[in-house]
Amino acid sequence: MRLALLQAMTPPLAILFGFVAAAGIILAIGKDPLDVYGMMLRFSLTRVDSIAAILFKATPLIFAGLGVALSFRVNLWNIGVEGQYYVGAFAAAWVGFAIRGLPAAIHLPLAIVAALAAGMLWALVPIVLRLKRGAHEVITTIMMNYIAGALVLYLLADVFRDPAQAGSPRVRTPELLPSARVPLLRPLLEPLGIPIPEHSALNWFLVLGIALCVLASFLLARSRFGYEVRAVAANPAAAEAAGIGLGRVQFLVFLISGAIAGLVGLSDVLGFFGYFDIDFPKGLGFLGISVALLARNNPLGIIPAALLFGFLDRGAQGVQVFAGVPREVITILQAIVILAIVVAYELLTRYVRTQRKREAQRVAAAAPAAMGEAVP
C-alpha cells in the first residue's frame, strides 16, 4: 500500500526536482523562476488553444514513445523510429495523393496501412540482420534512418514533386485527396461545449494513440504473447529454457515497434499539412526515446509522458514570447526532468526490492517449519 503510493509519487517528485534544478538556470539568466513557471502554467493550462496545442504536439510522441518502448521491452534498441516514421508518413502521403477514386472509408485506412507497412519494412531489415547475422540494431537502425532520409528526399524532389509548385522554391508532394485526410476532433468536441479553435489540427490519431497504449498494456499483462514478451524481457535465458522462442518474440515485437513507428507522422501529414514537404517535422523518433525512458517502457505511462513533453513545448513558446526566456532553457528543463526520473526510479526500485524481500523473510520465518509433511 505504502509502496504503491511511493511508486505513484515518484514521477511527480522527479518532475518537481527537475523544475527546482532548472530554476537555478533561470536565475542565472536574471529572471525570476516563479514568474517564469507561473507564466508557463497559466499560458499552457488556462487557454483552450494551448490545451489543444499540447494534445496535438503529444499525439506523434505517443506513437513514437510506444514504438520505442515496445522494442526496449524485448531488450532491443529501436533507434530507427526516426526513419520508420519518415518512410511511413511518406507512404501514407503517397497513397493519399496517388490513389484516386476511393471512398474515405477505404482511402484513409489504406493510407494508415501503407504507413504501418512502410514502418514495418524499415524495421524488418535491422531485425533480420540482428537475428541472422548478429549485427547490432543500434547501428543498423541508425543507418536505416539515413537511408530513409535520403530516399524520401529523392522521392520528394525528383519523383513525386508537385508539378503545380514548379518554379517555386517549395519542394512538396501534391495535395492529398480529402478522402485520405483524418477527421478532426473539433466537430465532435464543439457541440460538447469545448471550444477548440479553428486552427487546431487536433485529430483522431490522438484517440488512436491512446487506444494503442491501452491495448498494448492490456495485452502485455493478460495475453499469452505478452507473458512471453515479459519473460523474454526480464530473463531471456529462463524464457528460452521454458521453450519460448527468443528470436520469434524479438522478431514480432520489433516489427510491431516499427509498424507503430510508421504512424508517428500521420497526425501531421493526414491531419495538418495535407501534403508531405521537405520541412516535414524531424526528430520525433528521438523524442520518442525520451518519452519511453520517462514512461519506463510502460505503455500506459507513455500517455502522461508524451503530454508532459507537449506541455513543456507549449510552455516554451509561452515563456519565450511573454517572459523573454529563451526556449533552450525549457529544453534544458526537459533534460533535467528525464535525468531526475531515471535516477529516482532506480533508487525507488532498489528500495521496493529490499522491502519486498523483508516481507518474504517475515512470512518464511512466521510459517511453521513443516516442510516434509506436504505431499503433492
Partner 1 sequence: MPSLTPLTMSPAIELIDITKRFPGVLANDRISLQIERGEIHALVGENGAGKSTLMKILYGLHQPDAGTIRMAGNPVSLVSPRRAIALGIGMVHQHFKLIPRFTVAENVVLGSEPSRAGRLDMNAARVRLRALCAQYGFVLDPDAEVGTLSVGEQQRVEIVKVLYRGAEVLILDEPTAVLTPQEVDDLFGNLRRLRAEGKTIIFISHILEEVLAIADRITVLRRGRVVGTLPAAGVTKAQIAELMVGRPVLLDLPVPPVSPGAVRLEVQGAVVAGARGRPAVRGVSFAVRSGEIYGIAGVEGNGQTELVEALVGLRPLIAGRLTIMGQDVTHGGPRAIRLLGVGHIPEDRHVRGLVLPMEVRENLILGHHGRPTFCSGLLLNQEGIDAFSDDRIERFDIRTPSVQTPALALSGGNQQKVIVAREFAFAPSVLIAAQPTRGLDIGATEFVRRQVLEARSAGLAVVLVSAMLDEILSLADRIGVIHAGDIVAEFPRGGATPREIGLYMTGGSSSGRARVEGQPA
User: Distance of alpha carbon 203 from its chain centroid, rounded?
Assistant: 17
Q: Are 60 and 271 in contact (CB under 8 A)?
A: no
Alpha-carbon gap, residue 93 to 96, rounded angstroms: 5
**Selected range binding partner 1 among 54-62, 100-108, 137-145, 239-247, rule: CB under 8 A:** 239-247
Alpha-carbon gap, residue 117 to 115, rounded angstroms: 5
Closest to 55 in 3D by CA, of 173, 207, 281? 207
Question: Is residue 1 involved in binding partner 1 (CB under 8 A)?
Answer: no
And the C-alpha cell for 229? 514478451
The DSSP call for residue 31 is: -
- The type of residue at 133 is R
Q: Which of 49, 175, 240, 277 binds partner 1 (CB under 8 A)?
A: 240
Question: Is residue 230 involved in binding partner 1 (CB under 8 A)?
Answer: yes
Question: Is residue 222 involved in binding partner 1 (CB under 8 A)?
Answer: yes
- The type of residue at 252 is L
Residue 192 or 371: the one with the smaller Cβ distance to partner 1 is 371
x/- track of binding to partner 1 for residues 163-202 (CB under 8 A): ----------------------------------------
Q: Which of 245, 328, 331, 347 binds partner 1 (CB under 8 A)?
A: 245
Q: Which of 60, 237, 254, 312 binds partner 1 (CB under 8 A)?
A: 237
Strand-pair partners of 203 = 184
Question: Is residue 296 involved in binding partner 1 (CB under 8 A)?
Answer: no
Question: Is residue 134 involved in binding partner 1 (CB under 8 A)?
Answer: no
Residue 6 or 99: the one with the smaller Cβ distance to partner 1 is 6
**Selected range binding partner 1 among 81-89, 101-109, 190-198, 222-230, rule: CB under 8 A:** 222-230
Alpha-carbon gap, residue 171 to 198, rounded angstroms: 27
Number of residues that bind partner 1 (CB under 8 A): 41
| Residue 184 φ then ψ, to 5° | -85, 165
Q: Minimum CB separation from partner 1 for residue 349, in Å?
A: 10
Residue 335 or 360: the one with the smaller Cβ distance to partner 1 is 360
Question: Is residue 215 involved in binding partner 1 (CB under 8 A)?
Answer: no
Q: Minimum CB separation from partner 1 for residue 373, in Å?
A: 8
Alpha-carbon gap, residue 155 to 278, rounded angstroms: 11
Q: Are 77 and 71 in contact (CB under 8 A)?
A: yes
Alpha-carbon gap, residue 112 to 119, rounded angstroms: 11
Question: Is residue 238 involved in binding partner 1 (CB under 8 A)?
Answer: yes
Question: Is residue 42 involved in binding partner 1 (CB under 8 A)?
Answer: no
Q: Which of 20, 214, 242, 343 binds partner 1 (CB under 8 A)?
A: 242
Q: How many CB atoms lie within 10 A of CB 217?
A: 18
Question: Given the C-alpha cell 474515405, which residue does it identify?
Answer: 104
Strand-pair partners of 172 = 277
Residue 279 or 359: the one with the smaller Cβ distance to partner 1 is 359
x/- track of binding to partner 1 for residues 344-373 (CB under 8 A): ---------x--xxxxxxxxxxxx-xxxxx
Q: How many CB atoms lie within 10 A of CB 332?
A: 16
Q: Which of 146, 223, 278, 282 binds partner 1 (CB under 8 A)?
A: 223
Q: How many CB atoms lie within 10 A of CB 284?
A: 25
Residues that bind partner 1 (CB under 8 A): 219, 222-225, 227-228, 230-231, 234-235, 237-245, 353, 356-367, 369-376
